[in-house]
Structure 1
Amino acid sequence: MVKLIHTLADHDDDVNCCAFSSSLLATCSLDKTIRLYSLSDFTEVPYSPLKFHTYAVHCCCFSPSGHILASCSTDGTTVLWDVQNGQILAVMEQPSGSPVRVCRFSPDSTCLVSGASDGTVVLWNAQSYKLHRCASVKDGSLVACAFSPPGNLFVTGSSCGDLTVWDDKMRCLHNEKAHDLGITCCDFSSQPVPGGEEGLQFFQLASCGQDCQIKIWVISFIHILGFELKYKSTLTGHCAPVLACAFSHDGQMLVSGSVDKSVIVYDTNTENILHTLTQHTRYVTTCAFAPNILLLATGSMDKTVKIWQFEKETLCQAKIPDQPKQFTENWSEDDVSNWLCTEGLEDLVDIFKMNNIDGRELLNLTKESLADDLKIESLGLRSKVLRKIEELRTKVKTLSSEIPDEFICPITRELMKDPVIASGTAAVAAAKSLLSCLTLQPHRRQPIRLPCPWDSPDGYSYEKEAMENWISKKKRTSPMTNLVLSSMILTPNRTLKMAINRWLSETHQK
């Protein structure tokens, strides 16, 4: 069941967009303002509304970390705000000065895309606030954008109906006529489609448009070779143009808002309609799920934002994603929520979310912090949580002692998440060699020395961040051989990453 729990009516004009972080809700409007609300009680934060834009604010979005809010406007600017105090961090002007209709952060928060009415799309450096690259579509205004979960490409949607796929160097990889009368919104599911082939990742993309349709696409990411975009299906239910769509964080639901004033929630597995919400009195222009999927926000031209709550059974009885296939200390806040549900502790999801408990924080919880910081009054409930956490700690110690040495970064001595090969000229030979080593010597306990047939003096694999830090300190030598590196290029070791993920998956199943 879904119930309306709150209506926000602070804007003086149409609500254009709403977005969640783990603790805040942001809304923006034709009234030129952005408003921020606390998720604990939906009161407006003291420094809200945020005022700078001189014309309508079309879009707002949080960085993945939740520390920065971006907003864009008809005034041709994209503004970055510090969500802790509402201060402006940067004002980035669209090169053409055209109205900016959409903005989105990359999954790693390093980049921000802004799309404008003249069809220009700009990739900004979100750290330096400087323009990185710029391109444009052939026809129409850019009104929609979504980054793929791996972050290696993004999709834009235009008012002429085209979906365009771009890589991180702003090269146009693909163009698809998706909606005859124009696209209005698009969104990626953050969860991969289960059952993908070895070496492939499949993600669902939803697009909606003026043709009253919602279309589901499947994008397959093929290691080294690229990607493929395929049409999957069309969802029905609306009788007027669909203005917004968004996936829930676990990928199990898709919500849409329409000119017919209704909000429809779909089950993404069966594509059946789960709920139809009809409390708005004018066009529904925006919709967004909170990270923990318990809350849904919808905004409308009736100047209101409505907050809907899914009963906890919706979260825990729906198909819950498998517990994350990585070490507990690397779990996100949502991974912790999934774990709570699987352990019968779903009543604590909201408490853990509000206190930003991720995997590392979870492992450090004590009986004192459960009582004093999380305010869990029941002694029996605290004891149960501590028992479950102790089981996790024991498992972490066991797994850590069993990690194959070839999966450990020689610099950090920790399990690699994003392995790279130093000196990229031997990357292909190295990858093939590694695959052979892992196939023929699965229990090898020494770091694998990858044979490099020509100019690479290194050949070892390292955690990307650790090696980048090594190089940034002006060390041009190999951490393992102390020989001078012939190149500073770091080549992703996809084969090793696949092997690590496969090992994590098999370990998790045990």
Structure 2
Amino acid sequence: MDDTAEKGPALQMTSLLCTLHDHLDDVNWCAFSAKLLATCSGDKTLRIYNTSDFSELSFSPLSGHGYSVHCCCFSPCGQFLVSCSTDATTVVWSMVTGEIEAVMEHPGRSPVRICALSPDSIHMVSGASDGTLALWDFPSKQLRRTGAVNDTTMVACSFSPCSQVFMTGSTYGDLRLWDLNMNQLHAEKNAHDLGVTCCTFAPSILSGGQVVQFRLASCGQDSLLKIWAINKFSSGAYKMQRLHTLTGQSAPVLSCAYSSDGQLLVSGSVDKTVAVYDAKNAVLLYTLKQHERYVTACSFSPTSPLIATGSMDKTVNIWRLEDGCSGHGGKSMSGESALTSGEGRNSAGRLKLLVTDWSEEDVSEWLVEEGLERLVDKFRANNIDGTELLSLTKETLASELLIESVGLRNKLLRKVEELKSESACSGIPDEFLCPITRELMKEPVIAADGYSYEREAIESWINTKNRSSPMTNLPLLTTLLTPNHTLKMAIGRWKTSH
């Protein structure tokens, strides 16, 4: 289950595709389906756009809420849109007609701040400003269970990719994991000082031995974006561990979202910037600066290399990610592109080098990323570059670098061994091989189990194997396949270099 050897996406180019100016108040949320973009606002409306050209649909705007609309999300098939509001309702809209399919009144009639649909479309959760949660049966729109966390406001919610658990975040600063019976499985107190603002599960499931692992990103008023591992053990117990703390923004981080393949992570901040990270390696790739006020919302398209960001400046920006590795080094940008150079780009460049080619600065950055920042000064003083790093031994660490802590020496040597094993892999990277055919993928797609497969192979499997997952043997809750653009580009670059 250790994914330290997995390579994140190489640096891409980013350009501003268009800006949508239709809302009359703060944009609070944005969400993509396969073909549509939905945005919602303090102006009480939702607006729906076609992602092929970002023209507004004929039935847009949707005007059914009495107050500010805080959140919206599509059903996995894209047939329905769900929105919630200060008016204490959660509304289900048809994306065929734009008509209201159902209005669910929150228990206690408290303003609803967050709503989330399970990936299997069976459940929906709404969270309110009085700390209450409502779990709904989505097909019937019936209330199933309620729960609450006292003295707080629910502002964040996300279902796991298996649809069996969900995470909530509140202004109290805690993250809480719940099952479908509204039992609390885990509470991470003080996950973010001063309050959580958003949380989102990564789309993939990692499994190994007796443990199933999910990844979760959360952000908050402490100006931090955090990545967590949530382990489920065969006993049914859950354990939550913080893997990374990302500090690419200088003010409260209000929103975060994973790409559909889990490779990228985007966040929006009070500092008016949008940060895009390599989620696997926790590296800042670039910072987008185009909004004039707080960035309150962000979302990745599941089918196209697009990001939508919404702001208190009343606009929604659409950004296009483009493969920028064909000899340009990320520098040949159009005039309207908004990449700011800095350490994020240098770090991403380091990831593409052999360790023996690392500079002293590359080694310092690696130490910080691995939680070994206290060694940076010693390494710099002794001019340790990549080649020197790989040759370190217990003896040299103790006698020449004078590192007294046995635990620190052992941790460093373990990390160095991981680097060596990565460098030794000269064959096709395993993540480039289809789990079914074990051949290099040409058209990788992500299935409902979170794994990537060759399209033809998984389609054939689904047609002949009763819709079970090739990796987990569990039922595939949907046959929807999502193109894995990032993986396809990575495979293309690998083929070119080999």
CA distance in 2, matches of 1:79, 1:111: 14
Superposed displacement of residue 323, structure 1: 5.8
CA distance in 2, matches of 1:396, 1:209: 40
| Residue equivalent to 2:66 | 54
Q: Is residue 68 of structure 2 the alignment partner of residue 33 of structure 1?
A: no
Describe the superposition over 1:237-276 as per-residue Cα deviations: whole angstroms up to 9, x where unpaired. Answer: 1111000011111111111100000000011122111110
RMSD of the alignment, in Å?
Answer: 3.3
Asked whether the equivalents of residues 186 and 239 of structure 2 are also in contact (C-alpha less than 8 Å), the reply is: no
Q: Is residue 25 of structure 2 the alignment partner of residue 13 of structure 1?
A: yes
TM-score, structure 2 as length reference: 0.66
Change (3 A) 1:61 1:323: farther
CA distance in 1, matches of 2:128, 2:238: 26
Select the structure of larger CA radius of gyration.
Answer: 1
Q: Is residue 225 of structure 2 the alignment partner of residue 214 of structure 1?
A: yes
Could you tell me which of 260, 269, 288 is aligned with 1:249?
A: 260
Q: Is residue 180 of structure 2 the alignment partner of residue 129 of structure 1?
A: no
Q: Quick check: 224-233 or 266-275, which moved more? A: 224-233
Superposed displacement of residue 221, structure 1: 2.2
CA distance in 1, matches of 2:61, 2:262: 31
Letter in 2 for 1:259: V
Match of 1:50, SS state, is coil
CA distance in 1, matches of 2:133, 2:34: 28
Q: Is residue 195 of structure 2 the alignment partner of residue 182 of structure 1?
A: yes
Superposed displacement of residue 292, structure 1: 2.9
CA distance in 2, matches of 1:232, 1:197: 18
Letter in 2 for 1:245: C
Asked whether the equivalents of residues 186 and 238 of structure 2 are also in contact (C-alpha less than 8 Å), the reply is: no
Describe the superposition over 1:60-86 as per-residue Cα deviations: whole angstroms up to 9, x where unpaired. Answer: 000111111000000000000111110
Could you tell me which of 97, 105, 126 is aligned with 2:117?
A: 105
Change (3 A) 1:35 1:463: closer
CA distance in 1, matches of 2:26, 2:174: 26
Superposed displacement of residue 230, structure 1: 1.1
CA distance in 1, matches of 2:245, 2:291: 24
CA distance in 2, matches of 1:64, 1:23: 12
CA distance in 1, matches of 2:245, 2:213: 18
Within-5 A mapping of 1:280-299: 280-292=291-303, 294-299=305-310
Corresponding pairs, count = 356
Describe the superposition over 1:328-349 as per-residue Cα deviations: whole angstroms up to 9, x where unpaired. Answer: xxxxxxxxxx95556xxxxxx9
CA distance in 2, matches of 1:24, 1:314: 29
Superposed displacement of residue 462, structure 1: 11
Letter in 1 for 2:218: S
| Residue equivalent to 2:159 | 147
Letter in 2 for 1:417: S
Describe the superposition over 1:103-132 as per-residue Cα deviations: whole angstroms up to 9, x where unpaired. Answer: 000110011100000000000010111101
Match of 1:131, SS state, is strand
Letter in 1 for 2:22: D
Structure 1 unaligned blocks of 5 or more? 328-337, 343-348, 359-387, 401-411, 420-460, 466-510
Asked whether the equivalents of residues 228 and 242 of structure 2 are also in contact (C-alpha less than 8 Å), the reply is: yes
Match of 1:51, SS state, is coil
CA distance in 1, matches of 2:430, 2:316: 28
| Residue equivalent to 1:63 | 75
Could you tell me which of 233, 250, 264 is aligned with 1:239?
A: 250
| Residue equivalent to 2:99 | 87
Superposed displacement of residue 57, structure 1: 0.1
Asked whether the equivalents of residues 248 and 293 of structure 1 are also in contact (C-alpha less than 8 Å), the reply is: no
| Residue equivalent to 1:311 | 322
Letter in 1 for 2:187: N
Change (3 A) 1:226 1:306: same
Letter in 2 for 1:187: T
CA distance in 2, matches of 1:50, 1:320: 46
Structure 2 unaligned blocks of 5 or more? 1-12, 327-347, 353-428, 449-453, 478-498
Letter in 2 for 1:292: T
Asked whether the equivalents of residues 468 and 474 of structure 2 are also in contact (C-alpha less than 8 Å), the reply is: no
Asked whether the equivalents of residues 249 and 293 of structure 1 are also in contact (C-alpha less than 8 Å), the reply is: no
Superposed displacement of residue 227, structure 1: 2.1
Q: Is residue 173 of structure 2 the alignment partner of residue 161 of structure 1?
A: yes
CA distance in 1, matches of 2:223, 2:320: 26
Match of 2:231, SS state, is strand
Match of 1:96, SS state, is helix
Change (3 A) 1:75 1:396: closer
Q: Is residue 468 of structure 2 the alignment partner of residue 417 of structure 1?
A: yes
| Residue equivalent to 2:312 | 301
Give the number of the structure with larger relative contact order, counting CA–CA contacts within 8 Å between residues 6 or more apart: 2
